Structure 1
Amino acid sequence: MAGILAWFWNERFWLPHNVTWADLQSTEEAAFPQAEDLYLAFPLAFCIFMIRLLFERFIAKPCALGLKVQANGPQKAQPNAILEKVFTAITKQPDEKRLEGLSKQLDWDVRSIQRWFRQRRNQEKPSTLTKFCESMWRFTFYLYIFTYGVRFLKKAPWLWNTRQCWNGYPYQDFGIMFTHHIVTVTLITFSYVTNLTRVGTLTLCLHDAADVVLEAAKMANYCKCQKLSDLLFLTFAIVFIVSRLGIYPLWILNTTLFELYEALGNFPALWVFNILLVILQILHCFWSYLIIKAAYKAIAKGKAGKWNPLHVAKDDRSDIESSSDEEETVPRSKAPHSSISTNGTGGANGTNGYLTGGTCSEEH
Structure 2
Amino acid sequence: MIGTITEWFWWDRFWLPGNLTWEALEDKDGLVFAKASHLYVTVPYALIFLVVRYLFERLIATPAAAYLGVTEKTRHKVEHNAILEHYFTTKSKNPGQADITGLSKKCSWSSRQVERWFRRRRNQDRPSVLKKFREASWRMVFYLASFIGGIIALYDKPWFYNLREVWKGYPKQSMLDSQYWYYILEMSFYLSLVLSITFDVKRKDFREQIIHHWATLTLLFFSWGANYIRVGTLILLVHDASDILLESAKILNYAKWERTCNGIFVVFAFVFMVTRIIIFPFWIIHCTWVYPPDLYPPFIGYYFFNVMLVILLMLHIFWWCLILRMVKMFLFGSLLTKDERSDNEEDEEEDGETSRMEDNDGHVKVTNGCGNGGGANHH
Asked if structure 2 preserves the Cα contact closer than 8 Å seen for 1:321 and 1:354, the reply is: no
Q: Which residue of 2 aligns with 1:125?
A: 126
Is the deviation greater in 287-296 or in 180-189? Answer: 180-189
AA aligned to 2:14 is F
Q: Which residue of 2 aligns with 1:331?
A: none
What secondary structure does 1:265 align onto? Answer: coil
User: Which consecutive residues of structure 2, in runs of 5 or more, have no partner in the other structure?
Assistant: 192-213
AA aligned to 1:181 is E
Cα drift, residue 325 of structure 1: 0.9
1:351–1:227: structure 2 CA closer, same or farther, 3 Å change rule? closer
Query: How many Å separate the matches in 1 of 2:38 and 2:175?
Result: 13
Query: How many Å separate the matches in 2 of 1:249 and 1:327?
Result: 46
Query: Is 1:320 aligned to 2:345, yes or no?
Result: yes
User: Which consecutive residues of structure 1, in runs of 5 or more, have no partner in the other structure?
Assistant: 329-346
Q: Which residue of 1 aligns with 2:63?
A: 62
Query: Is 1:273 aligned to 2:298, yes or no?
Result: no
Query: Is 1:148 aligned to 2:153, yes or no?
Result: no
Query: How many Å separate the matches in 1 of 2:358 and 2:275?
Result: 41
Q: Which residue of 1 aligns with 2:202?
A: none
Cα drift, residue 77 of structure 1: 2.1
Cα drift, residue 348 of structure 1: 8.8
Cα drift, residue 195 of structure 1: 1.1
Query: How many Å separate the matches in 1 of 2:357 and 2:185?
Result: 51
Query: Is 1:173 aligned to 2:174, yes or no?
Result: yes
Asked if structure 2 preserves the Cα contact closer than 8 Å seen for 1:143 and 1:212, the reply is: yes
The C-alpha deviation readout for 1:273-308, integer Å capped at 9, x for no partner, is 11221232233223222212211121112x22x423
The C-alpha deviation readout for 1:254-279, integer Å capped at 9, x for no partner, is 21111122123321211111122123
Cα drift, residue 19 of structure 1: 1.9
1:20–1:352: structure 2 CA closer, same or farther, 3 Å change rule? closer
Q: Which residue of 2 aligns with 1:307?
A: 337
Query: How many Å separate the matches in 2 of 1:25 and 1:73?
Result: 61
Query: How many Å separate the matches in 2 of 1:348 and 1:204?
Result: 42
What secondary structure does 1:174 align onto? Answer: coil
Q: Which residue of 1 aligns with 2:209?
A: none
AA aligned to 1:248 is F
- Give 1:197-212 correspondences, 5 Å limit: 197-212=229-244
Cα drift, residue 38 of structure 1: 2.4
Asked if structure 2 preserves the Cα contact closer than 8 Å seen for 1:220 and 1:228, the reply is: yes
Is the deviation greater in 262-271 or in 48-57? Answer: 262-271
Query: How many Å separate the matches in 2 of 1:249 and 1:18?
Result: 30
- Give 1:212-231 correspondences, 5 Å limit: 212-231=244-263
Cα drift, residue 94 of structure 1: 5.0
What secondary structure does 1:239 align onto? Answer: helix
Query: How many Å separate the matches in 1 of 2:299 and 2:356?
Result: 60
Query: Is 1:296 aligned to 2:341, yes or no?
Result: no
Query: Is 1:139 aligned to 2:135, yes or no?
Result: no
Asked if structure 1 preserves the Cα contact closer than 8 Å seen for 2:57 and 2:134, the reply is: yes
What secondary structure does 1:357 align onto? Answer: coil
The C-alpha deviation readout for 1:48-84, integer Å capped at 9, x for no partner, is 0110010010001101101111322544323445544
1:324–1:4: structure 2 CA closer, same or farther, 3 Å change rule? same
1:354–1:126: structure 2 CA closer, same or farther, 3 Å change rule? closer
What's the Cα RMSD here?
2.9
One of 226, 232, 236 as aligned partner of 2:268: 236
The C-alpha deviation readout for 1:224-276, integer Å capped at 9, x for no partner, is 11100100000000000011122112321121111122123321211111122
1:188–1:214: structure 2 CA closer, same or farther, 3 Å change rule? same
Cα drift, residue 91 of structure 1: 6.4
Cα drift, residue 103 of structure 1: 2.9
Query: How many Å separate the matches in 2 of 1:136 and 1:353?
Result: 30
Is the deviation greater in 57-66 or in 1-10? Answer: 1-10
| Percentage of matched positions with identical amino acids | 38
The C-alpha deviation readout for 1:145-176, integer Å capped at 9, x for no partner, is 11111111112221111122111223222123
Q: How many positions carry a matched residue from both structures? A: 339
Given the two structures, how large is their TM-score scaled by the length of structure 1? 0.83
Query: How many Å separate the matches in 2 of 1:274 and 1:354?
Result: 36
